[in-house]
């Protein structure tokens, strides 16, 4: 079961379909399934209002099937915010009742309903890569700092390239930049050192948690060490930025 970026659904489906071999069936369940994410330091407390499942026994990135708000569903301890959280995979016909049950349970914890804009700032504070911005078909997990999700003991498409790049080190890496002042870095803005172009911003925002501008971008290995300084061209002006160790936000509650 894959949960894919909605905007890439057709591309991902077509790629998977092109590699099917043997007794394998590929089914698109998107129109029949809803996903609700409960995220934040109180996520487990809220989930405990909805299920008798032993949540203490569930580690990060694990899943289970259990009764949640009276419905037998699959849920996982995952999310893209950096905080503790759960994602509920709900049959289409049960989405309404589940939505109402979660809202009712959330009142006790002052839960707020938020969308992708809030999620985007939170994932950026944790240096969680967004496909289409920070990673795409031109990048590798090694460059993006995602080597922890690659198991070179197994066989997979692209293994030879990734193994070689991990052994030889990539020419660039995805890094974190912090700014002072009122700079507002956005994707596509150029990163420079004197008159030399180094790369471009892939994600950027004003961090609500840190109250300062932050961004991600790819830099050559000579500039990826924490403390290295560069400049970013924003509206024809150069704004100094400093490479910092990820994540930007250090107090997240994820397990």
In this prediction the pTM is 0.91
What pLDDT, on the 0 to 100 scale, is given for residue 230? 98
What pLDDT, on the 0 to 100 scale, is given for residue 182? 84
Judge whether residue 59 has pLDDT over 70: yes
Q: What is the CATH number of domain 6-113?
A: 3.30.1360.120
What pLDDT, on the 0 to 100 scale, is given for residue 53? 98
DSSP string, 186-246: -TTPEEEETTEEEEEEEEEEEETTTTEEEEEEEEEGGG-STT-EEEEEETTEEEEEEEEPS
Judge whether residue 254 has pLDDT over 80: no
Higher pLDDT, 117 or 112: 112
What pLDDT, on the 0 to 100 scale, is given for residue 181? 87
What pLDDT, on the 0 to 100 scale, is given for residue 5? 84
The mean pLDDT of the chain is 95
What pLDDT, on the 0 to 100 scale, is given for residue 135? 96
What pLDDT digit, counting tens, does each position of 63-98 carry?
A: 999 999 999 999 999 999 989 999 999 999 999 999
Looking at the chain, the whole-number percentage of residues with pLDDT higher than 90 is 91
What pLDDT digit, counting tens, does each position of 139-175 carry?
A: 999 999 999 999 999 999 999 999 999 999 999 999 9
pLDDT grade for 255, boundaries at 50, 70 and 90? low
**Bridge partners, 178 (sequence order):** 214, 242
Helices (H), the chain: 9-18, 43-48, 95-106, 116-125, 159-168
> What's the gap between Cα 124 and its chain centre?
8
What pLDDT digit, counting tens, does each position of 175-211 carry?
A: 999 998 888 999 999 999 998 999 999 999 999 999 9
Class of domain 125-244 as given by CATH = mainly beta
pLDDT grade for 30, boundaries at 50, 70 and 90? very high
pLDDT grade for 253, boundaries at 50, 70 and 90? confident
Give just the sign of the alpha carbon dihedral 204, 179, 81, 223. Answer: positive
Domain definitions of the chain by residue range: 6-113, 125-244
d(CA 150, CA 158) in angstroms, rounded, equals 11
> What's the gap between Cα 132 and its chain centre?
12
pLDDT grade for 37, boundaries at 50, 70 and 90? very high
Q: How many CB atoms lie within 10 A of CB 72?
A: 10
């Amino acid at each position: 079961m894959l949960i894919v970026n909605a905007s890439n659904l057709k591309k991902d489906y077509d790629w998977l379909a092109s590699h099917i071999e043997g007794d394998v069936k590929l089914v698109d369940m998107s129109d029949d399934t809803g996903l609700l994410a409960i995220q934040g330091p109180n996520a487990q407390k809220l989930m405990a209002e909805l299920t008798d499942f032993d949540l203490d026994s569930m580690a990060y990135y694990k899943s289970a099937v259990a009764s949640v708000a009276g419905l037998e569903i699959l849920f996982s301890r995952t999310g893209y915010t950096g905080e503790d959280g759960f994602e509920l995979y709900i049959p289409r016909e049960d989405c309404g009742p589940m939505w109402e049950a979660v809202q009712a349970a959330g009142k006790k914890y002052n839960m707020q309903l938020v969308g992708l804009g809030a999620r985007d700032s939170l994932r950026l504070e944790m240096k969680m890569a967004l496909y289409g911005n920070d990673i795409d078909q031109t990048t590798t997990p090694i460059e993006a700092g995602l080597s922890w999700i690659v198991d070179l003991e197994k066989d997979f498409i692209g293994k030879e390239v990734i193994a070689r790049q991990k052994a030889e080190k990539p020419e660039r890496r995805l890094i974190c930049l912090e700014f002072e002042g009122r700079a507002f870095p956005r994707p596509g803005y150029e990163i420079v050192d004197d008159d030399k172009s180094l790369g471009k911003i892939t994600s950027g925002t004003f961090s609500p948690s840190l109250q300062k501008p932050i961004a991600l971008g790819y830099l050559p290995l000579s500039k990826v060490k924490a403390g290295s300084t560069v400049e970013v061209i924003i509206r024809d002006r150069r704004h100094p930025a400093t490479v910092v160790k990820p994540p930007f936000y250090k107090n997240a509650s994820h397990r």
